Amino acid sequence: MTRPAPSEGFCPHCGERLRVPIEGESGHGRCSGCARPHWQNPIPVAGILLIRAGRVLLTRRSELASAGAGGWAFPGGFVEAGETAEEAAVRETREEANLDARITGIVGMPYSIPEVDHLVTVYRGKVAGDAAGEAQPGPEVSELGWFAPDQIPWPEIAFPTTAAALRDLIAEGLDAPPAHPLDPPPAAAQLLPDPPAPAPPAHCRHCGGGVEPTGGGPAGHGRCTACALPVWVNPATASSMHVVRDGRVLLARRSARMRRGGGQWTGPGGHIEPGEAAEQAVRRELLEETGLDVAVTGLNGVFSIRDPAVVFVSYRGSTDGDPLAGDETDEVRWFSADEIPWPEMFEDAVPPMETLLRFGLD
């Protein structure tokens, strides 16, 4: 089911219609009852391409799967509120293939699907522990298979993102070191203590009816008592960029009026809008915050914040222009590695900066 635009849906807090669009905010609305703003972002998805002895694990989706029944895909699914993207990928692999996975890297760059508002992060990994383990299909999987690159059933691949990730993995090399290693897992997973388990919204976004929690299911999930549709909570999605030039990185000091991180330094970025790819979002944000037209040159990493729940993609970029502060920034400045203002860094921006410096500012 396509998610309604905020102006067509209902407020999850009070159940009134979302009739008032927020000026200048595409795809976002304000409740006509309680006046709360409502932002709509793509939903984060995470999965793993497990590698063993030069072969990659794929799962054939059963009739119980929500999409792609009969096709082959990697184990994966939606990131739940309260978990990181890495944790979601490992959980989905356990649920779909009965295997404990250890993530070793990121495949390619996150794949945007604007037509359904999904942002898909695909990790590469291997079976955890000394034993390979016996893979067994879960309820949404009818068959499992380990495929060498020349055995992949391309005509039966379920989703374009699966095909794209497989092509990137093969180009990188199944037995080669990951282009974006994640061993040990990134520090972003420990940014903040675990928040309380999220509760589902009080009201259904589709009809405004009351919502009851789904017993025994994931936290944050429920079902509408009026229309019986499932209701759940997922992290928001965002993208940021570290523009690097002449051995220095561009940082922006967030406006003092910002609710989070006001007055602190960070890589420019922001939430991904409905129907927008992650790379489009970060280029738009850079233009708004620094006046720069930037080129995306690579991936810095994918990071998760638990509270508020956000999955964000950090890119590297380049530009020939000179930055200017925008409406949401008080100052923009170039910093060398030994000039990074750590005591004044926005806490969400610390793990991406640490990752950037590990790979260097060249």
Residues labelled catalytic: 331
The rounded distance, in Å, linking the Cα atoms of 271 and 253 is: 17
Question: Which two three-digit tokens encode residue 76?
Answer: 């994966």
**Residue type for position 154:** W
Local structure of residue 210 (DSSP, 8 states):
B
**Residue type for position 9:** G
Closest CA to 310 of 77, 3, 76, 81: 81
The rounded distance, in Å, linking the Cα atoms of 259 and 236 is: 16
Q: How many CB atoms lie within 10 A of CB 177?
A: 9
Question: Which two three-digit tokens encode residue 237?
Answer: 């999605």
Please, what is the Cα angle at 215 between 211 and 218, to 5 degrees?
90
Residue whose pair of structure tokens reads 């009134």 in the numeric block:
16
Asked whether 231 and 210 are in contact (CB, 8 A), the reply is no
Asked whether 203 and 12 are in contact (CB, 8 A), the reply is yes
Asked whether 271 and 343 are in contact (CB, 8 A), the reply is no
Going by their DSSP bridges, the two strands 72-73 and 55-61 should be labelled as: antiparallel
The rounded distance, in Å, linking the Cα atoms of 222 and 233 is: 9
